[in-house]
Amino acid sequence: MDEVLKLKSKLKEINTRARGISDLPVSERAEFGRKINAEREQVLAEIKAVEQVALDTEVSPIDVTAWSGVNEAMPEFYPVTFGSKHPLMTELDRVIDIYQMMGFDVVESRQLDDEFHMFDVLNFPKGHPARDGYDTFRTEEGLIPPAHTSTMQHRVLKEYKKRLDEGGAIAVVVPGRVFRNEDVDATHEHTFYQCEGVYVSKDCTLSQMLGILREFFEKYYEQKLNIKTQPGYFPFTEPSLEFMIEKPKSLGGKKGDFLEMLGCGMIHPNVLKAAGIDPEEYHGFAWGGGIDRLAMLRYGLSDVRLFESGNLNFLREFSL
Ligand code: DAH
């Protein structure tokens, strides 16, 4: 291989010289061109010959089936490294595992949705300013890359309604990628991940929801937590709450340092009705919150943009 490298650098040198043709008087250019082309042909033929010998030799110098951590022949040219799972996917798996242990089914969200699922069926009145709050992107065809995983609520309710008819409950979480057309900064990204939860039964209550959420966050952060709620507004829940946890000391928090982790509430009767579920007979609660935010707190990150940046130094910190 050394020989090929030497010949290739000779070729480079010839090519550099060839560029000097423009400095010559026109009358000398033809002769110069012929000579330099002959030199080039000669070196190319030599490279081909050496490579052919290498190919014909019983053991090829390059064994494409062999694995080694580095390419020993040319470590500086071809360092071999391996990718790793994206930290958000690791966290998403962790989140899903906890909910599955609690008995929730998992349904994947979609990356392109429509006005009906994004707003209409979630009880957003037509022309209501709450629609603008979601900073939605729109395709030329008028479709919407979902701005929250709540776009899946109607589908989940319809699909799982049979569980109610069988005397059971609907218990589903929906992880998914969401998109918002807003200015990007350390705490806002145009693309991020959320996880939605939907629960419906004959007799479920808001305090059961708070119990589920507390259990989830305590499992995720592997410690007891102080939780708090404050009133919120979402057209698809009534009442609506913002769910907060006190930032644990072990993660750099101080007493009273409450962070909003998700939005939640009792599912609005109109949302149940739209899926053919009688709100007189059944009640539901739902919640939705960002995965990026969960992970940032867990790892002490202060810039959400790192997740979508493709920055290898950042990603390597999470490789196993
Ligand atoms: N989709 C809301 C958001 O992204 C969060 C949310 C609020 C989800 C209340 C819910 C809910 O399921 O019931 O801002």
The atom number, within ligand 1, closest to the CA of 288 reads: 8
Q: Is 175 in the pocket of ligand 1 (CB under 6 A)?
A: no
Choosing from 131, 135, 136, 148 the residue with most ligand 1 atoms within 8 A of its CB, the one to mutate for a pocket test is 148
Q: What gap in Å lies between CA 130 and CA 142, rounded to an integer?
A: 19
Q: Is 234 in the pocket of ligand 1 (CB under 6 A)?
A: yes
Beta strands in 26-122 (DSSP E): 105-106
- Residue ID of nearest Cα to ligand 1 atom 3: 148
- Residue ID of nearest Cα to ligand 1 atom 9: 264
Q: What gap in Å lies between CA 320 and CA 308, rounded to an integer?
A: 20
* Domain extent listing, the chain: 2-57, 87-318
Q: For residue 180, give every residue at least 6 positions away whose Cβ sits within 8 Å of its Cβ, in sequence order, or none.
A: 134, 135, 136, 137, 147, 188, 190, 192
The atom number, within ligand 1, closest to the CA of 196 reads: 12
245 exposed, middle or buried (CB, 10 Å; 0-12, 13-18, 19+)? Answer: buried
The residue type of 16 is: T
Residue with tokens 């053991």: 59
CATH 3.30.930.10 corresponds to the domain 87-318: yes
Choosing from 216, 287, 293, 294 the residue with most ligand 1 atoms within 8 A of its CB, the one to mutate for a pocket test is 287
For residue 281, the CA-to-ligand 1 centroid distance in Å is 23
**One digit per residue, pLDDT tens: the chain, 320 residues?**
578 888 988 989 998 899 888 889 999 999 999 999 999 999 999 988 888 887 776 565 666 666 555 666 666 655 556 678 899 999 999 999 999 999 999 999 999 999 999 999 999 999 888 898 999 999 999 999 999 999 999 999 999 999 999 999 999 999 999 999 999 999 999 999 999 999 999 999 999 999 999 999 999 999 999 999 999 999 999 999 999 999 999 999 999 999 999 999 999 999 999 999 999 999 999 999 999 999 999 999 999 999 999 898 899 888 76
For residue 120, the CA-to-ligand 1 centroid distance in Å is 15
Q: What gap in Å lies between CA 275 and CA 302, rounded to an integer?
A: 40
Q: Is 264 in the pocket of ligand 1 (CB under 6 A)?
A: yes
Q: What gap in Å lies between CA 70 and CA 19, rounded to an integer?
A: 37
